[in-house]
Chain A
Amino acid sequence: MAEQAIPGWKKWLEGSGDQVIFLKGFFRNVFRGGFEWSEFVRQCYEIGYKSFMLVGTTAFIMGLVLALQLRPTLVNFGAVSMLPKSLAVSIVREIGPIITAMICAGKIGSGIGAELGSMKVTEQIGAMEVSGANPIQYLVVTRILATTLMVPVLTLLGDVLGLLGGFLAINITSSVSAMLYFNKCLASIDFTDFLPAFIKTIFFGFVIGFVGCYKGYNSNRGTESVGLAANSAVVTASLWIFVIDAIVVQISSLLFYR
Chain B
Amino acid sequence: MLSWFRLAVYFFIVNMKETEKVSQKKGNSSETVIHIKGLKKSFGANDVLKNINLDVKRGENVVILGKSGTGKSVTIQCIVGALVPDGGEVEVFGEEVAALKEKQLKELRMKIGFLFQSGALYDSMTVRENLEFPLTRVLKLKDQSDINNRVEEVLENVGLSDAIDKMPSDLSGGMRKRVGLARTLIVNPEIMLYDEPTTGLDPITSREISELILQMQKKYKTTSIIITHDMECADITADRVVIMNDGEYIAEGSVAELKNSKDGLVRSFFKSTL
Contacts and interface: CB of A to CB of B under 8 A. Distances in A.
Contact of B120 (A126, A132, A133, A138): A126
8 A-B pairs with the lowest CB-CB distances in the bound complex, closest first: A127-B120, A132-B109, A123-B120, A132-B110, A133-B137, A130-B114, A132-B138, A130-B80
Determine which residue in B82, B118, B120 has the highest number of CB atoms from chain A within 10 A of its CB, and name it. B120
Interface of B: 80, 82, 106-107, 109-110, 112-114, 116-118, 120-124, 133-134, 137-138, 140, 183-184, 187
A122 B109 contact: no
Contacts of A134: 137
Interface in A117-169: 118-119, 122-124, 126-134, 138
A119 B116 contact: no
A133 B114 CA distance: 13
Contacts of B116: 123, 126-127
Interface in A81-133: 115, 118-119, 122-124, 126-133
A115 B125 CA distance: 13
A122 B123 contact: yes
Contacts of A130: 80, 82, 109, 112, 114
Contacts, number: 54
B115 to A, nearest CB: 9
A127 B137 CA distance: 13
Contacts of B106: 132
A131 B82 contact: no
24 contacts: A115-B124, A119-B123, A122-B120, A123-B116, A123-B117, A124-B122, A126-B120, A127-B114, A127-B116, A127-B120, A127-B122, A128-B133, A129-B82, A130-B82, A130-B109, A130-B112, A131-B110, A131-B184, A132-B110, A132-B138, A133-B133, A133-B134, A134-B137, A138-B137
A68 B110 CA distance: 63
A124 B121 CA distance: 6
Contacts of B134: 131-133
Nearest to B134: A131
A48 to B, nearest CB: 18
